[in-house]
A and B are shown apart, each in its own frame.
Chain A
Amino acid sequence: KNEVEQSPQNLTAQEGEFITINCSYSVGISALHWLQQHPGGGIVSLFMLSSGKKKHGRLIATINIQEKHSSLHITASHPRDSAVYICAVLPLMDSNYQLIWGAGTKLIIKP
């Protein structure tokens, strides 16, 4: 079992829908990252958070440290949001500062 689990693995929705992608992890962490990977490969960091909630434009990320769970929400989704969304965590007490990666959620937004 991977230490970072994302759900769903695949998600297809219509333009304008509210999107939620979930990330659960089993280790104590000092930070959690949400990243976006478009077709073609490049990965872009969206959020890095260790508590509470962050918002950037139509994207919202929340984290519940006690429940070891984070969600990424997209409001008013658009076809350009189609991408793979990846969750990664930085474990506590990791002297090498290596991230543990989820397998990603592939999101397709249809016009």
Chain B
Amino acid sequence: ETGVTQTPRHLVMGMTNKKSLKCEQHLGHNAMYWYKQSAKKPLELMFVYNFKEQTENNSVPSRFSPECPNSSHLFLHLHTLQPEDSALYLCASTSAPGLAIYEQYFGPGTRLTVT
């Protein structure tokens, strides 16, 4: 399998549930990202991991907890979410975040609905 994959593609969860989103990249990239995309809004960067180290947390509520066990895998653990957290969650990766040549490869996203 190639590219960036995300599972599940769709998730419906209650506010008291705990779930996890998974992202996997098969591109040999060093950096991975979580984005949130709400309707009619620009993408919001949530977290950045560079060589498995978290380098950015854009004031994301603690009910979102990222985990990056290795350069190929990224998780987003969810607990006690709110209905306003319903959105498309996109994972991306890039090979060289330190260079001006900078292209991100995106996964298909997980459509999350919080009821």
Contacts and interface: CB of A to CB of B under 8 A. Distances in A.
Q: How large is the interface on A (under 10, 10 to 19, 20 to 34, 35 or more residues)?
A: 20 to 34
Contacts of A4: 42
A90 B56 CA distance: 16
Contact of A50 (B45, B90, B100, B106): B100
Contact of B104 (A30, A40, A99, A103): A99
B64 interface: no
A98 interface: yes
Interface string A26-55: 000011010100001111110010100000
Given A96-B48, A96-B55, A103-B40, A31 B109 contact: no
A42 B45 CA distance: 16
Interface residues of B, number: 25
A84 to B, nearest CB: 10
A96 B55 CA distance: 8
B102 A48 contact: yes
B98 A97 contact: yes
Interface in B31-58: 37, 40-43, 45, 48, 55-56
A41 B103 contact: no
18 contacts: A31-B100, A31-B101, A41-B109, A42-B107, A42-B109, A43-B92, A44-B106, A45-B103, A45-B106, A48-B101, A90-B102, A97-B97, A98-B48, A98-B56, A99-B104, A102-B42, A103-B40, A103-B42
Interface of A: 2, 4, 30-31, 33, 35, 40-45, 48, 50, 86, 88, 90, 96-104
Interface of B: 37, 40-43, 45, 48, 55-56, 88, 90, 92, 97-98, 100-109, 111
